Structure 1
Amino acid sequence: MANRLKNEKSPYLLQHGDNPVNWYPWGDEAFKKAEEENKPIFLSIGYSTCHWCHVMAHESFEDEKVAELLNKNFVSIKVDREERPDIDAVYMSVCQALTGSGGWPLTIIMTPEQKPFFCGTYFPKDSRYGQPGLTDILRQVAVLWQTRRKELEDNAEKIMDVMLQGRQDENGVSGTPDKTILAEAYDMFQKQFDREWGGFGTAPKFPTPHHLLFLMRYAELEKVPEALEMTEITLEAMARGGIHDHIGGGFSRYSTDKQWLVPHFEKMLYDNALLLWTYAEAYRRTRKEIYGEVARNTADYMLRELWDGGFYCGQDADSEGVEGKYYVFTPEEVKSVLGGEDGEKFCRYYHITDRGNFEGKSIPNTIGNPAADITDFRRYGIWRKQLYDYRLGRTRLHKDDKILLSWNAWAIIALVRAGNILREPSYLETAVRTKEFIEEKMTDEKRRLYIRFRDGEAANAGQLDDYAVYALALLELYQATFEMDYLSLAVLRAKQMQELFEDREKGGYYMTAFDGEALISRPKETYDGAIPSGNSVAAMVLQKLALLTAEKVWQEAAERQIRFCTGEIRRYPVGYSFALMALSIAFYSHRELVCVVKKDIPEELKQYVNLCASDEISVIVKTERNEEELLKCAPFTAAYPMPEAGPTYYLCENGMCKMPVTSEEVVKTWIIGNNSNIL
């Protein structure tokens, strides 16, 4: 019998649409029912490609006895954390505060007023090995609600007091920024670094690409080759391991072991976008072909399997209810596809054995092979393609086909960067088309953004990440194309970000808009976890706008945000690597180039400029066509006269401007002098 989730668009909610549990989506109907019937609320938060969400669903939510307990004693609500990150943030902070950990599925039991008094993550159906079972928890809470409800409500109030006080303490801190904070972060990364296998800490290991982007930036700024070495060890180890899909490209969510061999097999758009950026950047800095090849294969995976006007969220770890089934092979399978001799070579190179390395089968990997050889990598490409085609026919992966705005914005940033560095114009073309999709499908009549698009419907008011990451993506598009529309739109999105989310009293930006749905608290996320936080990205956006436009309003906004971020970073510097990248723009010399030309900047020079990272140089191009619109964003450009013929270049560095020049070679020399890896 279908429940109320059958009418939803979220793939995660739809997965539970046939459960015997009488699920409600988050909304007034559920809360009104709980209040009228004097029942507590059972809140379950997850996402469609989450392995343990599937496990708990099969064990408990598809079970008639569990459903009977829930339907009789609770009002049950399902939430897709990817569609409502604000709800997830509020209740995950409760879980982490009370239990010391968090994760998905997230299990919350709360009053009809949305105040939690019990929390946890995955629970088995029945108690085992000292872990309480869901059925026991539900029975006990049902009894307590009837007999000692006041105690539960008092506990909920105490939890709320603690959480609200914690947010007040956190959000009122600011600091004076200086370079030492970057050194403190680097020292902490050194201490946590796994020198044998790369990455930080012990298993499970997460890629966390923004850590590596920060280390590459720090290596260049402070001339610390060890920081680049840490990055390279990690990138090569991940590229060799099973976390990297050697057959189809892209990366899984994380590794369950320290050597990156056995992944948690789900693939997420944001991981792959950020890793694409990271491998492309590593190629830019080192010119090692292996990084360029991994970047291309990652981009190709994203375009081939996730893109359809916009990018889908990701793919599941499970196939036909079995984790990793899609990805593993036996030698017999490989030989049946490639033939005996070729199959034997492939198995030897990719460590596919009779014994296997994952539940009797093998995850392809090149761990322990001789030093990375791009010739070997390319030589096996035809065989990888044959196995990829075989794999597609053998079993299929569930695909979460909703389109999330902020994740798509990360994809735009990565494709622009990788397209410039790898000289792949198709990446930029896809980035532009994705931006057009957002403007057409995920923007309302007031030009405000939506979080999600699926099945012809955009839904849920955009949050800080949507505005901040999209504004950064638009700035990347501007720096790649010098099309004025991108800069104008970036300014609009940044203004909206300020108006809707900024906390002018205590600093920083809230996750939700001032006129958004009121939850039990208004979260202000600062930590750079799996994805950089909206506050870190906001700092980057404001810094870049201040440098591009020279406008006081952006300079002051950037200063406020830098001070706020500094106060947060002092607590635990390695947890704020993307914010540190934003701070580095403020701390170190930056170059500005203004090109004034009647028509367009010369194409060859544009290519040189685009091979620089946009956090190292800001470029404004003034033409007769864009002059009027440019003045609205960057009034200072009024002082730059239009030349009679050819372009004129104004070069500035460290707050000092040189005499204007007309020679492209002078500009190229200036660029190359600061970027020795430009070819």
Structure 2
Amino acid sequence: MPSVTLPAAGGRNRLDGATSPYLQQHADNPVDWWPWCDEALAQARERDRPILLSIGYSACHWCHVMAHESFADPEVATLMNRAFVNIKVDREERPDLDGLYQRAHQLLNGRGGGWPLTVFLSPHDLRPFFAGTYFPPTPRHGLPAFTQLLAGVERAYREQHDKILQQGENLIEAFAGLEPEPGERPPERNLIGAALNQLAVSFDPRHGGFGGAPKFPHAPELALLLRCAARGDRPGEDAPEPLEMARVSLERMIRSGLNDQLGGGFCRYAVDAQWMIPHFEKMLYDNAALLALCCDLHACTGEQLFRSAAESTADWVLREMQSPEGGYYSSLDADSEGEEGRFYLWEREQVRALLPEAEYRPFAAVYGLDRPPNFEGRWHLHGHLTPAAVAAAQGLTLEQVQSLLGAARATLFAERERRVRPGRDDKVLGAWNALMIGAMARAARVLERDDYLESAEQALGCVRERLWRDGRLLASCRDGRVAFDAYLDDHALLLATVLELLQTRWSSADLAFAIELAETLLARFHDPEAGGFWFTAHDHERLIHRTKPLADETLPAGNGVAALALQRLGHLVGEPRYLAAVESTLRLAATAMRRLPHAHATLLCALDEWLDPPEQLVIRASEELLASWRREAQRGYRADRLVFAIPDEAESLPPLLAAMAPGPRPRVYRCVGTHCEAPREQL
């Protein structure tokens, strides 16, 4: 655990030197903040003070609200400093701490948490005895004032110490009870059908997505639906088809207020069932997942809508989210000028003044300016009508409407660029970069955009240069400073991404890196006895509990990604240890998957490939012929095919690939699982 410097001069606290922009946002608070470090934990023990642990992230609107209302208030800070050791954590740098104490919130309160997360810990064992999220400065909405909470928690710690100790013991037992135990048999294929049925029941046929408000994209479930559609899996009778559920969901998101209609990029989630009003932060990981899905749906359906959405998202990444060093930034803030969504909102008369009447009429009809305002007296652009419907209503052709909309969007985008921009969290995170590198590689392949491939390669180069140190992966980098040992998600997602990039262009050096990552996963995260992978490495800081994440959350589950990637790499290079780790992971997860199949979409994808391995095509050809052969082999959406096009002159190949020798004409080697056929000279 890193040490920390003393408070900085000029009234800034210990967070002033943090690598996290979120922590630095609190460096001028009057609160005597500590980062999570040995010194802070020792102070709490020595003074016998409970720890007030506050977890958030820089793009979080309600984190800003609580900071302004409470943490910037000298009177509140005086109470915090007198009674507690106050620790601030960026959930993006420390997903281990965030995941642990979010789970504690769930157990203590019987409901999910969120951000800001407010947890009070016993100083001697770091076990939580009270947890909540946002607390207001005065009592409202059934919540106590934050100062009332502080006084009550301090009193409880002094007067109910034995009860708190017992609660801590009960919590640790509850944690242990949540962890999976290896099953006697692996999961069955019918779990995929069960997940489809669960998704069909919660599917919203009108607005897309699953369930009601608030509504999240649920990208792993959509990816599973596409895979099932390609495989021919179907839900029960009278249920919507998998492709239809995925297509409608993504189409509604693309046309909605969740998607930035002028500048590209998706917000994190919508507060309503129609996807109209989001919390306005844009996270790198959401956009990576949705970019990949847009590419897949374009490959699947050929619809221009999905190609356009993929390009607008990828272009936003190139324009606003890639650093000069190549890495991708983490997020854009929900707020600007102290107000949520201000950057994205419009006055009707302002738009009318900027656009010619011929452009304004269809624009207003499509995006709702001819309706009442939808966000605090102003308009957030949301696709109420399709361009086709407006064309029919206004006596125009679809091409005319699309041209007028494009011109109007360009004018408004240029005007919006003059505004004060939302803050940007410019740290480079390994796991999130891995997701976006893979999405950009897929976009380069599906959309035939070399600039997207160049972006992906630059980002991978940055990750390898900055975050890969002496055979160890680190989690975060900012301003040339690296921090924190990487977690399961970083390793597994980066391995999966390198395999994705290898399908777009071959690099023997990248394959060697993938093998290094796989070996690191086995050496530092794998449980050889019970199976599966721990979220933290074997030599990680000891916390109150160690988890093996199986269910998809904000990111696809690390165990699911590891199983999927190790299986693909194991078949590619002929390494049975990787395949054995996959089987033990699926056995470990079997009970949890049977209990709630659709919550384990990534593991179900791994199960699908374990039960029915995709065909793997290795193409050997000269450089001048390789691209056309690869393009033909990758045409359309193929969940059941992986393609690796290796130049004839490639060197340093593992024995299995080296044995797939080039010939006088292009050769295709086809393998399914551990069975390979004789080479052929046609696809």
TM bucket normalised to smaller: over 0.9
| Cα drift, residue 65 of structure 1 | 1.7
AA matched with 2:208: G
Cα 1:621–1:176, aligned 2, differ >3 Å: closer, same or farther? same
CA contact (8 A) 2:300 2:637 kept: no
| Cα drift, residue 641 of structure 1 | 4.5
TM normalised by structure 1 equals 0.92
**Residue equivalent to 2:199:** 189
| Cα drift, residue 68 of structure 1 | 1.1
| Cα drift, residue 14 of structure 1 | 0.6
- Further displaced range: 40-49 or 521-530: 521-530
**CA distance in 2 between partners of 1:48 and 1:654 (Å):** 44
**Residue equivalent to 2:335:** 318
**CA distance in 2 between partners of 1:426 and 1:60 (Å):** 46
Cα 1:658–1:362, aligned 2, differ >3 Å: closer, same or farther? same
Q: Does 1:127 align with 2:177?
A: no
| Cα drift, residue 594 of structure 1 | 3.1
CA contact (8 A) 2:532 2:581 kept: no
What is the 5 A alignment of 1:318-397? 318-353=335-370, 355-369=372-386, 371=388, 376-377=401-402, 379-397=404-422
Could you tell me which of 105, 112, 119 is aligned with 1:101? 112
**CA distance in 1 between partners of 2:660 and 2:499 (Å):** 22
**CA distance in 1 between partners of 2:545 and 2:409 (Å):** 50
Identity level (%): 39
- Further displaced range: 32-41 or 332-341: 332-341
Q: Secondary structure at the match of 2:472?
A: coil
Q: Does 1:231 align with 2:238?
A: no
AA matched with 2:510: Y
Could you tell me which of 509, 533, 547 is aligned with 1:523? 547
TM normalised by structure 2 equals 0.92
Query: RMSD across aligned C-alpha pairs, in angstroms?
Result: 2.1
Q: Does 1:541 align with 2:551?
A: no
**Residue equivalent to 1:532:** 556
**Residue equivalent to 1:671:** none
Per-residue displacement from partner, 1:43-85 (whole Å, max 9, x unpaired)? 0000011111111111111112211111001000000000000
**CA distance in 1 between partners of 2:127 and 2:551 (Å):** 24
CA contact (8 A) 1:544 1:615 kept: no
- Further displaced range: 611-620 or 555-564: 611-620
Per-residue displacement from partner, 1:632-664 (whole Å, max 9, x unpaired)? xxx234544553x223333345876554323xx
**Residue equivalent to 1:438:** 463
Q: Secondary structure at the match of 1:602?
A: helix
- Further displaced range: 72-81 or 528-537: 528-537
Cα 1:468–1:650, aligned 2, differ >3 Å: closer, same or farther? same
Cα 1:589–1:158, aligned 2, differ >3 Å: closer, same or farther? closer
Unaligned stretches of 5+ residues in structure 2: 1-10, 235-239, 390-397
Unaligned stretches of 5+ residues in structure 1: 668-679
**Residue equivalent to 1:478:** 502
What is the 5 A alignment of 1:5-44? 5-44=15-54
| Cα drift, residue 466 of structure 1 | 0.6
CA contact (8 A) 1:56 1:122 kept: yes
**Residue equivalent to 2:426:** 401
**Residue equivalent to 2:225:** 215
Could you tell me which of 444, 447, 470 is aligned with 2:471? 447
| Cα drift, residue 337 of structure 1 | 2.5
| Cα drift, residue 323 of structure 1 | 1.1
Could you tell me which of 91, 96, 103 is aligned with 1:81? 91
**CA distance in 1 between partners of 2:600 and 2:610 (Å):** 16
Could you tell me which of 113, 123, 138 is aligned with 1:112? 123
Could you tell me which of 244, 248, 253 is aligned with 2:259? 244
Q: Secondary structure at the match of 1:118?
A: strand
Q: Does 1:607 align with 2:631?
A: yes
| Cα drift, residue 273 of structure 1 | 0.7
| Cα drift, residue 596 of structure 1 | 3.9
| Cα drift, residue 589 of structure 1 | 5.1
Per-residue displacement from partner, 1:533-555 (whole Å, max 9, x unpaired)? 11110011111112212222222
AA matched with 1:56: M
CA contact (8 A) 2:129 2:167 kept: yes
Q: What is the number of equivalent residue pairs in this alignment?
A: 656
CA contact (8 A) 1:174 1:568 kept: no
Q: Does 1:552 align with 2:563?
A: no
Could you tell me which of 43, 68, 72 is aligned with 1:62? 72
AA matched with 1:139: A
AA matched with 1:605: W
| Cα drift, residue 392 of structure 1 | 2.1
**CA distance in 1 between partners of 2:478 and 2:41 (Å):** 26
Q: Secondary structure at the match of 1:310?
A: coil
**CA distance in 2 between partners of 1:68 and 1:239 (Å):** 47
CA contact (8 A) 1:548 1:620 kept: no
**CA distance in 1 between partners of 2:153 and 2:254 (Å):** 48
**CA distance in 1 between partners of 2:613 and 2:35 (Å):** 51
Q: Secondary structure at the match of 1:194?
A: coil
| Cα drift, residue 613 of structure 1 | 5.5
Q: Secondary structure at the match of 1:245?
A: coil
Q: Secondary structure at the match of 2:54?
A: strand
CA contact (8 A) 1:600 1:623 kept: no
Q: Does 1:287 align with 2:302?
A: yes
What is the 5 A alignment of 1:272-283? 272-283=287-298
AA matched with 1:437: C
- Further displaced range: 65-74 or 551-560: 551-560
**Residue equivalent to 1:414:** 439
| Cα drift, residue 378 of structure 1 | 5.1
Q: Secondary structure at the match of 1:380?
A: helix
| Cα drift, residue 509 of structure 1 | 0.6
Q: Secondary structure at the match of 1:561?
A: helix
**CA distance in 2 between partners of 1:425 and 1:307 (Å):** 16
**CA distance in 1 between partners of 2:312 and 2:648 (Å):** 40
